[in-house]
């Protein structure tokens, strides 16, 4: 932008009021919201390119990216006179009055100018802290969504289902919302899925396991006779299965960045978490008992505080274990890291905010969030809850350079599991690179072998507010910020929740998140549920409901689901899932006609179902299941339950197992080899949506891996029909739940007759079926 030239106007402008710099503290929520949704985006989009710390060339020494910058002004003097828009230079410039015209090429839309005028008249309340300016601004050229308020902060509506032309089509209000969108695009929904397709889809979606061929036949007959009655019966059976929790628990473990080791701490050390699996089991159990989502969250954030009033010792153990959620994050090494404690807090804030409300608050650790309405003060208000909390991760393989040792929750009712003969509870003893052997563990951190322990958190003896760490540096302390929550929400949400100064405030955080008025909690979870049932979400970025996240494809449907979830369903995840899978939309076929495919290749409008690949766990579980090898019982503990060691020292810690994949040992940077090829999350951050790659290494897993070949051998050995054709029939029915057609039968026979060595022919044929797309994809 050109220099500001109008010194005449500048000369007549007044000087800033002295109270200005403290004004950030006085900005109330409404004003903050106005600033964040109307003013900041406009400044960033239209002005920062030339008037910010990040500008390539700063115009007229004027900085508009901080309160002081706006107030002190540039070469032409102060740009803003709080409370007096008519005397504010920026308003004159924006109106293209006199010869000062900004932006120089074209005036801004009148609405934007009006907003800025209104904002100055309000006293120019500016929540940006002075800190923000000191950091290099990166916001030039940012594209903002200025087409309205940030949608996700708006209260959840309970919209009336729209009327549709195809009146007989919808089965549930969900279908009305979807059909209205489809009709608006001048498309029409595809056919209903065939019952054999539907039962397979339901089995995998609700339990992560395939149905047997007999179950398919039974269901097909029932569906033909009774239609949706049969579907409802099936759905209720599957929801009641203990495998439901193993499937949906795994989805939540992705969000909870669950792992059983710390992952590389930056010094290549990767300490196991021998007790993390108890949190895994807690999650599975929570889904199976249909713990309402609000309670589920509260237990994970503040279970230790509820445990004091637990009704039984077992309940106490369960609640303490729930707080593992806050303790299983990946930490950078403690060595030389003065910010270590705040790094732990950062992980906890990220898990809660990104996981529960879909907002990344992490940037605000160092500066006001550039795009979302999260000022640094808010970050430290939240941080105070966690600095008032003691995190119990254990002894980190007794390498204090990776993390200082902590106690753990001692469980009262869980069974003690003694290490096997000849194996002491192993604690790593290594010579670190920079010091001699770590000192032996202090007594307070050691427990008799086999003691049932759980990771988690508890309140510190003396909770306290947290000081702002300037630019995220724990050694540069700024103001202390009273503990609290995010201020970008309407004042009502924060009213009435006050933090007991003698507690950390985590319980109140949980209350705040689950009050039902919170605009994000229900939307984010409803969206996550939808994602797992449709393969794509209504908000395509399930972990980001902020400015940079995608906009919902079906905003009304999302609000309908969210209000139904916290309302009629009373936060029951099973009820929410049940409602969705019984909708007609869910039960559509995955084939579409040419027109629809051309008009909507990504299936944005849901006129069909999306074909999906089995994820890593479902693929392995399905293979075990059809070969007859699956041990359907929950696994007891974990391969590392007796190993408090560094994964990088220990070599392979994984053990072969026939239990479901969720029970395999989930070490960071060392994933289970049976799953690693298929896009497991790295578990460093919240992962709402996994990547989905197609790689030759996946082919190699299916063709060569020890697991695949072993399953093929088991499969072959389990086929017991005498006649070759009958055996082929048996194989097809078990793997693909159908009979082979003539071509397939001929090809199979040919393979069996010609493949050498002959004794490998059957296992080779079995392995082939497990590698087909028909086996690996759900229609």
Partner 1 sequence: MSPFPTPSRRRMLQTASCGFGSLALQGLLGRESLHAANPVPHIAPRARRVIFLFMSGGPAQLDTFDYKPQTGNTPHSGSAFKFQQHGESGLWVSELLPETAKHADKLCVLKGMHCDTGIHAQSALQLHTGDRLRDRPSLGAWVGYGLGRDNRDLPGFISLNTSRPSSYGSAFLPANYQGTPIGVNGEDMSLATLPNVTGDHLPTEAKRQQLDLIQMMNRRHQQQRSDDSQLDAVIKSMELGFRMQATAPELLDISSEPQAVLDRYRVGKNHLEGTCRASDFGRQCLLARRFAEAGVRFIEVNHGSWDQHKNHRRDLQANCRTTDAPIAALLEDLDQRGLLEDTLVVWGGEFGRPGLTPGEKDKDQTGHQSSGFTFWMAGGGVKAGFAYGDTDETGKRAVDGKIHFRDLHATIFHLLGLPANDLKFRHAGREHRLTGPEGGRVAHDIIA
The one among 26, 221, 464, 703 contacting partner 1 by CB under 8 A:
703
Residues of span 510-569 touching partner 1 by CB under 8 A: 548
Q: How far apart are alpha carbons 673 and 695 in whole angstroms? A: 16
DSSP 468: E
Please count the helices (runs of H) and the strands (runs of E) in the chain.
32, 10
Residues 6+ apart with CB under 8 A from 778: 200, 201, 204, 205, 611, 612, 613, 614
Place of tokens 């192993």: 426
The one among 236, 704, 717, 726 contacting partner 1 by CB under 8 A:
704
**Near partner 1 by CB under 8 A, which window of 208-216, 223-231, 420-428, 742-750?**
742-750
User: By CB under 8 A, is residue 159 in contact with partner 1?
Assistant: no
Is there a contact between 317 and 285 (Cβ–Cβ < 8 Å)? Answer: no
Helix (H) or strand (E) holding 478: strand 477-481
By beta-carbon proximity to partner 1, the closer residue of 120 and 614 is 614
Residues 6+ apart with CB under 8 A from 477: 467, 468, 469, 470
The one among 66, 140, 288, 300 contacting partner 1 by CB under 8 A:
140
Residues of span 573-602 touching partner 1 by CB under 8 A: 590-592, 597-598, 601-602
User: By CB under 8 A, is residue 19 in contact with partner 1?
Assistant: no
User: By CB under 8 A, is residue 188 in contact with partner 1?
Assistant: no
- At its nearest, how many Å lie between partner 1 and the CB of residue 512? 29
User: By CB under 8 A, is residue 192 in contact with partner 1?
Assistant: no
Angle at 604 between CA 523 and CA 524, to 5 degrees: 10
Separation in Å, CA 633 to CA 253, 290, 602, 662, 691: 19, 19, 39, 12, 29
Distance of alpha carbon 651 from the chain centroid: 30
Residues of span 595-634 touching partner 1 by CB under 8 A: 597-598, 601-602, 611, 613
By beta-carbon proximity to partner 1, the closer residue of 418 and 772 is 772
Residues of span 266-295 touching partner 1 by CB under 8 A: 266-268
User: By CB under 8 A, is residue 705 in contact with partner 1?
Assistant: yes
The one among 95, 659, 738, 760 contacting partner 1 by CB under 8 A:
760
**Near partner 1 by CB under 8 A, which window of 14-22, 133-141, 246-254, 348-356?**
133-141
By beta-carbon proximity to partner 1, the closer residue of 19 and 750 is 750
User: By CB under 8 A, is residue 437 in contact with partner 1?
Assistant: no
By beta-carbon proximity to partner 1, the closer residue of 323 and 666 is 666
Strands 456-459 and 453-454: unpaired
- Tell me the angle at which helices 573-581 and 228-240 cross, rounded to the nearest 10 degrees: 150
Q: How far apart are alpha carbons 560 and 563 in whole angstroms? A: 5
* 3-state DSSP helix/strand/coil % of the chain, to nearest 5: 45, 5, 50
User: By CB under 8 A, is residue 262 in contact with partner 1?
Assistant: no
The one among 492, 691, 725, 726 contacting partner 1 by CB under 8 A:
691
SS3 state at 456? strand
By beta-carbon proximity to partner 1, the closer residue of 96 and 604 is 604
User: By CB under 8 A, is residue 54 in contact with partner 1?
Assistant: yes
Separation in Å, CA 519 to CA 128, 271, 489, 493, 713: 23, 38, 8, 9, 53
The count of chain residues that interact with partner 1, using the rule CB under 8 A, is 68
**Near partner 1 by CB under 8 A, which window of 37-45, 486-494, 513-521, 758-766?**
758-766
- Which chain residues interact with partner 1 by CB under 8 A? 54, 56, 136, 138, 140-141, 263-264, 266-268, 433, 548, 590-592, 597-598, 601-602, 611, 613, 648, 668-670, 673, 676-677, 679, 682, 691, 693-705, 709, 743-744, 747-748, 751, 754-757, 760, 764-765, 767-769, 771-774, 776-777, 779
């Amino acid at each position: 932008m050109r220099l500001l030239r109008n010194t005449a106007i500048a000369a007549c402008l007044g000087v800033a009021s002295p109270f200005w710099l403290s004004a950030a503290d006085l900005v109330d929520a409404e004003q903050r919201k106005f600033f964040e949704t109307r003013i900041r985006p406009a400044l960033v989009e239209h002005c920062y390119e030339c008037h910010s710390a990040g500008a390539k060339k700063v115009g007229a020494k004027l900085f508009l990216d901080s309160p002081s910058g706006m107030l002190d002004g540039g070469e032409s003097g102060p740009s803003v006179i709080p409370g007096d828009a008519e005397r504010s230079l920026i308003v004159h410039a924006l109106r293209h009055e006199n010869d000062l015209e900004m932006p120089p090429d074209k005036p801004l839309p009148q609405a934007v100018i009006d907003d800025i005028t209104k904002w100055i008249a309000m006293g120019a309340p500016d929540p940006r802290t002075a800190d923000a300016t000191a950091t290099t601004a990166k916001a030039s050229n940012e594209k903002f969504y200025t087409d309205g308020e940030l949608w996700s902060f708006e209260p959840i509506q309970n919209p009336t289902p729209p009327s549709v032309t195809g009146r007989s089509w919808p089965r549930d209000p969900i279908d009305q919302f979807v059909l209205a969108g489809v009709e608006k695009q001048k498309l029409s929904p595809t056919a209903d899925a065939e019952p054999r397709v539907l039962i397979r889809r339901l089995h995998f979606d609700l339990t992560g396991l395939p149905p047997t061929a007999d179950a398919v036949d039974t269901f097909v007959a029932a569906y033909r006779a009774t239609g949706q009655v049969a579907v409802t019966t099936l759905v209720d059976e599957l929801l009641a299965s203990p495998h439901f929790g193993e499937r949906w628990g795994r989805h939540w473990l992705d969000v909870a960045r669950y792992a059983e080791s710390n992952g590389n701490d930056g010094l290549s050390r990767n300490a196991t978490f021998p007790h993390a699996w108890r949190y895994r089991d807690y999650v599975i159990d929570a889904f199976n008992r249909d713990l309402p989502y609000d309670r589920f969250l509260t237990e994970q954030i503040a279970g230790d505080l509820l445990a004091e009033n637990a009704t039984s010792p077992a309940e106490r153990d369960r609640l303490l274990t729930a707080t593992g959620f806050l303790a299983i994050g990946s930490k950078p090494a403690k060595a030389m890291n003065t910010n270590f404690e705040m790094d732990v807090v950062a992980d906890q804030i990220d898990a809660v905010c990104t996981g529960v409300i879909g907002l990344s608050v992490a940037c605000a650790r160092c500066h006001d969030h550039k795009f979302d309405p999260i000022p640094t003060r808010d970050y430290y208000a939240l941080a105070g809850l966690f600095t008032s909390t003691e995190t119990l991760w254990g002894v980190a393989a007794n390498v204090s350079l990776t993390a200082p040792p902590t106690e753990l929750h001692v469980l009262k009712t869980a069974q003690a599991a003694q290490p096997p003969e000849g194996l002491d509870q192993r604690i790593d003893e290594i010579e670190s690179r920079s010091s001699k052997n770590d000192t032996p563990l202090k007594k307070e951190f050691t427990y008799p072998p086999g003691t049932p322990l759980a990771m988690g958190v508890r309140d510190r003896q003396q909770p306290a507010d947290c000081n702002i760490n300037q630019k995220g540096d724990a050694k540069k302390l700024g103001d202390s910020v009273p503990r609290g929550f995010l201020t970008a929400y309407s004042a009502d949400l924060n009213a009435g929740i006050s933090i007991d100064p003698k507690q950390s405030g985590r319980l109140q955080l949980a209350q705040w998140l689950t009050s039902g008025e919170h605009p994000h909690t229900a939307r984010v979870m409803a969206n996550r549920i939808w994602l797992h049932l449709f393969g794509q979400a209504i908000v395509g970025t399930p972990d980001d409901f902020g400015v940079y996240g995608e906009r919902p494809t079906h905003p009304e449907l999302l609000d309908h689901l969210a209000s139904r979830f916290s309302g009629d369903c009373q936060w029951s995840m099973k009820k929410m899932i049940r409602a969705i899978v019984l909708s007609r939309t869910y039960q559509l076929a995955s084939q579409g006609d040419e027109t629809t495919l051309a008009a909507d290749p990504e299936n944005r409008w849901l006129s069909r179902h999306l074909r999906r690949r089995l994820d890593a766990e479902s693929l392995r579980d399905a293979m075990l299941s059809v070969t007859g090898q699956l041990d359907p019982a929950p696994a007891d503990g974990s391969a590392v339950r007796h190993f408090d060691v560094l994964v990088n020292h220990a070599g392979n810690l994984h053990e072969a197992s026939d239990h479901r994949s969720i029970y395999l040992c989930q070490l960071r940077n060392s994933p289970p080899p049976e799953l690693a090829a298929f896009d497991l999350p790295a578990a460093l951050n919240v992962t709402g949506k996994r990547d989905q790659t197609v790689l030759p290494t996946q082919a190699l897993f299916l063709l060569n891996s020890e697991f695949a070949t072993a399953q093929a051998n088991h499969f072959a050995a389990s086929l017991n029909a005498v006649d070759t054709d009958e055996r082929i029939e048996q194989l097809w029915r078990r793997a693909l739940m159908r009979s082979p057609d003539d071509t397939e039968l001929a090809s199979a026979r040919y393979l069996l007759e010609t493949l050498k060595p002959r004794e490998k022919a059957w296992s080779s044929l079995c392995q082939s079926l497990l590698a087909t797309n028909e086996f690996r994809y759900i229609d």
